[in-house]
Amino acid sequence: DVKVTQSSRYLVKRTGEKVFLECVQDMDHENMFWYRQDPGLGLRLIYFSYDVKMKEKGDIPEGYSVSREKKERFSLILESASTNQTSMYLCASSANSWGRNTEAFFGQGTRLTVV
Amino acid sequence: KQEVTQIPAALSVPEGENLVLNCSFTDSAIYNLQWFRQDPGKGLTSLLLIQSSQREQTSGRLNASLDKSSGRSTLYIAASQPGDSATYLCAVWNSGYALNFGKGTSLLVTP
């Protein structure tokens, strides 16, 4: 079974802190994604990566950065956490077959609260 | 930009009923469409993936159909059970590299 693992289920951080959310997948997938999910707004794409050291901005990249030093690991960084970044963060991965994405698999989510 | 809409936003049915969840999208040039289930406070579980060249996919009591030309997909759940209660999300892959999601249908199956 494909496994996408996020490092924490719940996190509480203080305003201004630098926060790292880690995601690891075990299926050698090329593509990895970070979404945030908020009531009434649905899932919104923050960043994605289609190869090691490659990254692309999604719809809401402001206040975030990412790192992909190894194929299996994709990290989301909140440079200076703010209360409006309180949210559920979801990581996903998928393979790239003939230029097209195949089935996406998600991690269990990280509920981040910034106080 | 691709817009994905799911109707209804919420649905309550008695156990045993067959039901249909709807998903529509504005740009028919999709690669794939994927249906997910999400339980409260949890991540997304993949249910079915339909390739753009396919018309439907089946898994157990679930059947998903795709009509690209009209920009629609349906998820059919047969003989619903209380354990089917969850939020169901539809998402499409376009020529970019990321899924575009609808806001989901919250399903409650009552015993």
Q: Please answer yes or no on whether A42 and B41 come within 8 Å at the CB atom.
A: no
pLDDT for position B30: 86
Q: Which residue of B has its CA nearest to A96?
A: B97
pLDDT for position B42: 92
In this prediction, residue B89 has a pLDDT band, given cuts at 50, 70 and 90, of very high
pLDDT for position B97: 66
Q: Which residue of A has its CA nearest to B51?
A: A102
Confirm or reject contact between B53 and chain A (CB < 8 A). no
Work out whether the CA dihedral B106, A86, A93, A56 comes out positive or negative. Answer: positive
pLDDT for position B52: 86
What's CA A111's distance to the chain center, in Å? 12
**Contact residues on chain B for A88, CB-CB shorter than 8 A:** 41
Closest CA to B2 of B32, B21, B28, B31: B28
Q: What is the pLDDT of residues A56-78, one digit of tens each?
A: 999 999 999 999 999 999 999 99
Highest-pLDDT range among A90-104, B8-22, B85-99: B8-22
pLDDT for position A96: 78
- Name every residue whose Cβ is closer than 8 Å to that of residue A62 and which is 6 or more positions away in sequence: none
